[in-house]
């Protein structure tokens, strides 16, 4: 299995040390993950020690392959998505994720009440607009947790989530991006993969490449729910997924 969505720094509460990263690798080894993509949130990029990462990667602990990714917050008003100070050439892939709707951090437990103050279809509509813009910005390789807006279990009323996302999937295909199947949603109130199986089936119809990730924010979460993500991909028809090295996509068999 590969787990392409792993946060060693979580939300800044951990330090980027060899011992800490080795714990992720040890946990991955125990659960059968053979390739880990560490993708810190871009707000913590200054805490990533690139030399240390490369040294750990070259050590080859348990023969697990390590990739260096980044999870970038996409917002409509962010002028400089990837600051020049970020050595993007060093990164294997960049995940573009939408965590904010016009300044509202909808996936944060402290801001959940924002769903009560807005019309749910307006929320889905605006979320989709932002996703659409992110898919066309040409800065990402992978679209992160594409239906994250369902995190607390809110569903649109006027049309299905799939109907909202369909134009976005077409844009993703057009721009040659991959979409991740992220098992982090299984640990949230919604209790589902991001995205749901209906969306994964549509992705397969559009021949959109997939990666898989757990969104682990702790060593013990590595690989969590990934088997379900693999099954979902297979049920939709996928026999291949993709990996990335230095921003180049490679198609590999979906092995699990």
Residues that bind Zn ion (CB under 5 A): 71, 97, 215
And the tokens for 95? 């995940």
Q: Which lies closer to Zn ion via its Cβ, residue 73 or residue 121?
A: 73
And the tokens for 194? 């991001």
Q: Residue ranges of the alpha helices (H) in the chain?
A: 18-31, 50-59, 114-117, 120-135, 161-174, 197-205, 226-236
For residue 43, the minimal CB distance to Zn ion (Å) is 11
Q: Which residue is nearest to Zn ion (CB)?
A: 97
- Nearest alpha carbon to residue 90 among 51, 63, 56: 51
Q: Which lies closer to Zn ion via its Cβ, residue 181 or residue 234?
A: 181
Beta strand 240-245 pairing with 248-253: antiparallel
For residue 58, the minimal CB distance to Zn ion (Å) is 25
For residue 63, the minimal CB distance to Zn ion (Å) is 25
For residue 142, the minimal CB distance to Zn ion (Å) is 11
For residue 6, the minimal CB distance to Zn ion (Å) is 8
Q: Which lies closer to Zn ion via its Cβ, residue 60 or residue 148?
A: 148
Own/partner pairs, 78-83, CB within 8 angstroms, 24+ separation: 81/137, 81/139, 82/139
Q: Which lies closer to Zn ion via its Cβ, residue 3 or residue 71?
A: 71
Q: Which lies closer to Zn ion via its Cβ, residue 60 or residue 109?
A: 109
- Any idea how long the chain is? 256
Q: Distance between CA 67 and CA 65 in Å, rounded? A: 7
């Amino acid at each position: 299995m590969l787990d392409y969505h792993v946060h060693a720094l979580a939300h800044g509460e951990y330090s980027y040390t060899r011992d800490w990263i080795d714990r992720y690798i040890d946990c991955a080894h125990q659960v059968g993950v053979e390739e880990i993509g560490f993708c810190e949130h871009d707000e913590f990029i200054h805490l990533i020690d690139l030399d240390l990462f490369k040294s750990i990667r070259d050590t080859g602990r348990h023969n697990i392959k390590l990739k260096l990714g980044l999870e970038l917050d996409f917002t409509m008003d962010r002028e400089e998505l990837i600051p020049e100070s970020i050595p993007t050439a060093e990164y294997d892939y960049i995940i573009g994720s939408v965590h904010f709707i016009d300044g509202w951090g909808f996936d944060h437990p402290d801001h959940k009440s924002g769903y009560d103050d807005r019309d749910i279809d307006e929320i889905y509509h605006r979320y989709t607009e932002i996703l659409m813009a992110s898919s066309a910005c040409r800065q990402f390789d992978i679209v992160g947790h594409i239906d994250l807006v369902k995190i607390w279990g809110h569903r649109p009323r006027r049309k299905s989530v799939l109907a909202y996302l369909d134009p976005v999937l077409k844009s993703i295909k057009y721009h040659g991006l991959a979409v991740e199947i992220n098992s982090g949603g299984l640990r949230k109130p919604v209790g589902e993969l991001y995205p749901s199986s209906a969306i994964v089936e549509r992705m397969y119809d559009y021949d959109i490449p997939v990666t898989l990730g757990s969104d682990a924010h702790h060593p013990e979460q590595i690989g969590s729910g990934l088997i379900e993500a693999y099954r979902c991909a297979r049920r939709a028809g996928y026999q291949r997924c993709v990996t990335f090295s230095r921003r180049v996509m490679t198609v590999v068999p979906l092995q699990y």
